[in-house]
Each structure stands twice: as C-alpha cells, then as structure tokens.
Amino acid sequence: MKINSVKIISLLFFVLSTFYLYTAHQIQVFSFDENAPFNAKTFPIYLGYAGMFFSGLKLVLPDQKPVEVDAKYLEFKKTILLVLAVIFYGITILKVGFFLSTSLFLVFSYYFLGERRWKLILIFSFPFVAIFMYLLHSVLQVYLRDPLLKYIGIMG
C-alpha cells in the first residue's frame, strides 16, 4: 500500500478532530444550560464528530486520482505567518477582547494572503466583526466578554 500526502494529512486531521472533540467535552456550561438543546458544547462536539467522520472517510476510501504536489509551489512563508497570527490571536483574545483581536487577526490574515487594497481590508475586518458582534449580542443573546469595548463604554 502506497501512502501519499493526502492520507497523511487526513490522518493528522483525524487526530486533530479527535483532540478537538475531547476538549469540546471538557467545556463547562451553566447548570441551567445542561439540558438545553443547544449550548456552548453542542456545535464544537458536532464539529469534532464531523471532522473525524470526513477525515476517516478520506483515509478509508481509495483515491480516484492521486495528486502529485510539487514542493516548490507551496507557500510555506504564508502558512507560517498564518499559524503565528492564529497563535497571537489565541493569546490576545481574552486580554484585548473579541472585537479588536478578531479584527486585527482578519487584517493581518488578509495582508499575509496577498491582499494589498487597504480599503477592502478595513471594510472586511472591523465592520464585519462589529456586525457579527451585534448579531451575537442582540439577536442570539450570546455575551462575549470584551475588556476594550467595556473600557471605552460601548458594552456594559
């Protein structure tokens, strides 16, 4: 049996999904939310199962056309920069808050991926996150702790 890069990536994704599912079961929910049909654990648990299912299918089913990838066309620099941006985002989200950290993550990600039109970068980062936060807070009644917005008086 010949192992190709798709199978290796599928195996890594299966392991990552398994770990994600394990950590999703560790999420603590409020006592009044435990028997609710949808709580903080629901979507992460389903996402973990879906990742395991699809990566398992990719591992078990045969490849129709094996893909040959030439390493000189891979953009390792962009990948490393995005991984560093994700790590920085994970470190700063609790201290800075969802709005600023997510907006800056999107700005850096767009820039790292090659977008150079600052008007588009700014339109699709700060206003997008603001609209998303409004939908979370007002429509879905999901509260996100945001020290920056609390400090400047936008949130209570």
List Cα–Cα distances, 110 to 19, 73, 74, 106, 123, in angstroms. 28, 20, 18, 6, 11
Chain segment 70-109, per-residue pLDDT in tens = 777 778 888 899 999 999 998 988 888 888 899 999 999 9
Computed over every residue of the chain, the mean pLDDT equals 84
Question: Is residue 65's pLDDT more than 70?
Answer: yes
* Token pair 């990536």: residue: 9
Res 22 pLDDT > 50: yes
pLDDT at 1: 46
